[in-house]
């Protein structure tokens, strides 16, 4: 059994009005270093950048994105950053269907940008971090003392256990949950495992994965299919799933590719198929960005100094990573990617 718990109680932050304690002093030190380093070299940039930046981002990026934004605004006091968290697919639809202006979009699945934004709404996509699926719970969860990597799928099917997941049509964590269950069915050789679990507790499906945290905190549900990084950030217990199930191991790409999920497509009434592969986050600057100069400066910061924030918060930095849109990336940002 491989269960983990993050227990750094020294940094306090607010999440939807509730005080949550999670990250340690090392993270505070990192932010202070970011705020103070290279001030001389940034003086001209600080005075030149101004205006508002609107960033649409995956819910699982809420804490690292806020930390990066706060640090960036300290270095560039004339810039105001507005962060909007939602499921990554929903973020894309704000741009493609609602025509909402946005300076940066950061997705929990780089394919959302490739499939929904490129080429009409964006020209390029840079991969920047990895993650993995985990089963998250707390001490009050039913069967918390006995759950392990051989019985979790059986416990989830018990009538007295409730679990939550996010909407596959709005959030990559939602369709990755379906994929993980499909892979678990193969790995454990349990016919109908995926259907049995997916048919249960549908009243606890939410638009994005972090919306489920309040349900867990109140013991309305016992378990959440969630990204490991979110568990680390919120100091929650989590069960590490086998590599054959968690969508984290690049060496198992061919196995992951044997599962897929059909979700809503680019236009109303259409669908698209998302095929399993190792988790890769991606970001882009949409063509309609109102503040391209500040957007590019933030992306440059986030993909350099900001990668330490990602690592502190439980995600594996991938920069530089290959991309098929390398030729379309602005020259100052090409150092953060490689040609695929």
Beta strand ranges found along 31-175 (DSSP E): 51-58, 79-86, 104-107, 126-130, 133-137, 163-166
Per-residue model confidence (pLDDT) at position 340: 86
% residues pLDDT > 70 (the chain)? 86
Same domain, 155 and 69: no
Would the pLDDT of 78 be above 70? yes
Those residues with Cβ within 8 angstroms of residue 59's Cβ, 6 or more apart along the chain or in another chain? 85, 86, 87, 108, 171, 173, 208, 209, 210, 211
194 and 311: one domain? no
Same domain, 249 and 322: no
CATH of the domain at 187: 3.40.190.10
- Is 163 a domain residue? yes
Q: What is the pLDDT of residue 117?
A: 97
Q: Tell me whether residue 317 is in a domain.
A: yes
Output the pLDDT for position 8: 38
Tell me the residue length of the chain. Answer: 340
pLDDT mean over 322-332: 97
Distances (CA, A) of 184 to 7, 160, 162, 241, 340: 29, 22, 19, 9, 30
* Cα distance between residue 8 and residue 327, in whole Å: 42
* The pLDDT of residue 267: 86
Reported as a single tens digit per residue, the pLDDT across 148-199 is: 999 999 999 999 999 999 999 999 999 999 999 999 999 999 999 999 999 9
Retrieve residue 71's tokens: 């640090």
Is the pLDDT score of 71 beyond 90? yes
Which residues are registered as beta bridge partners of 224? 136, 164
What are the φ/ψ torsions at residue 291 (nearest 5 degrees)? -135, 70
If one compares 26 and 223, the residue with the highest pLDDT of the two is: 223
Would you say 311 and 317 are in contact if contact means Cβ atoms under 8 Å apart? yes
Q: For residues 160 and 186, state if they share a domain.
A: yes
Question: 128, 281 in Cβ contact below 8 A?
Answer: yes
**Residue 304: pLDDT band with limits 50, 70, 90:** very high
Distance CA 195, CA 185 (A): 9
Average pLDDT over residues 315-322: 94
Cα separations (Å) of 24 from 3, 18, 29, 86?
20, 18, 9, 26
> Based on the domain organization, do 124 and 138 belong to the same domain?
no
Written as six digits, the tokens of 53 are: 């930046």
Domain boundary, last residue among 214, 238, 263: 263
**So what's the pLDDT on residue 47?**
57
The domain containing residue 103 runs over which residues?
A: 38-131+280-339
Average pLDDT over residues 212-235: 95
Looking at per-residue confidence, does 314 or 2 come out higher? 314
State pLDDT tens for residues 4-49: 655 433 232 333 333 333 334 344 344 444 444 444 344 344 658 9
**Number of domains within the chain:** 2
């Amino acid at each position: 059994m491989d269960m983990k718990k993050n227990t750094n109680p020294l940094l306090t932050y607010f999440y939807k009005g509730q005080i949550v304690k999670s990250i340690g002093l090392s993270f505070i030190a990192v932010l202070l270093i970011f705020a103070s380093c290279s001030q001389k070299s940034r003086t001209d940039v600080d005075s030149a950048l101004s205006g508002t930046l609107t960033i649409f981002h995956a819910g699982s990026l809420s804490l690292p994105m806020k930390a990066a934004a706060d640090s960036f605004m300290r270095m560039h006091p004339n810039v105001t950053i507005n962060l909007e968290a939602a499921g990554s697919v929903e973020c894309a639809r704000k741009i493609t269907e609602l025509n909402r202006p946005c300076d940066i979009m950061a997705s929990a699945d780089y394919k959302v940008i490739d499939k929904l934004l490129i080429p009409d709404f964006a020209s390029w996509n840079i991969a920047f971090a990895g993650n993995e699926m985990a089963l998250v719970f707390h001490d009050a969860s039913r069967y918390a003392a006995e759950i392990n990597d051989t019985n979790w799928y059986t416990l989830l099917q018990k009538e007295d256990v409730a679990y939550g997941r996010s909407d596959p049509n709005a959030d990559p964590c939602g369709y990755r949950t379906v994929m993980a269950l499909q892979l678990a069915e193969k790995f454990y050789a349990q016919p109908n495992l995926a259907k049995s679990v997916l048919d249960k507790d549908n009243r606890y499906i939410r638009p994005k994965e972090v919306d489920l945290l309040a349900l867990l905190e109140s013991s309305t549900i016992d378990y959440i299919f969630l990204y490991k990084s979110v568990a680390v950030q919120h100091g929650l217990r989590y069960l590490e799933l086998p590599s054959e199930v968690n969508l984290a191991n690049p060496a198992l790409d061919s196995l992951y590719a044997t599962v897929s999920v059909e979700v809503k497509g680019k236009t109303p009434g259409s669908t698209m198929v998302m095929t399993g592969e190792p988790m890769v986050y991606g970001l882009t600057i949409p063509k309609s960005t109102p503040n391209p100069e500040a957007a590019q400066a933030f992306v440059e910061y986030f993909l350099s100094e900001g990668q330490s924030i990602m690592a502190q918060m439980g995600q594996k930095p991938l920069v530089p990573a290959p991309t098929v849109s390398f030729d379309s990336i602005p020259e100052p940002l090409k150092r953060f990617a490689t040609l695929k």
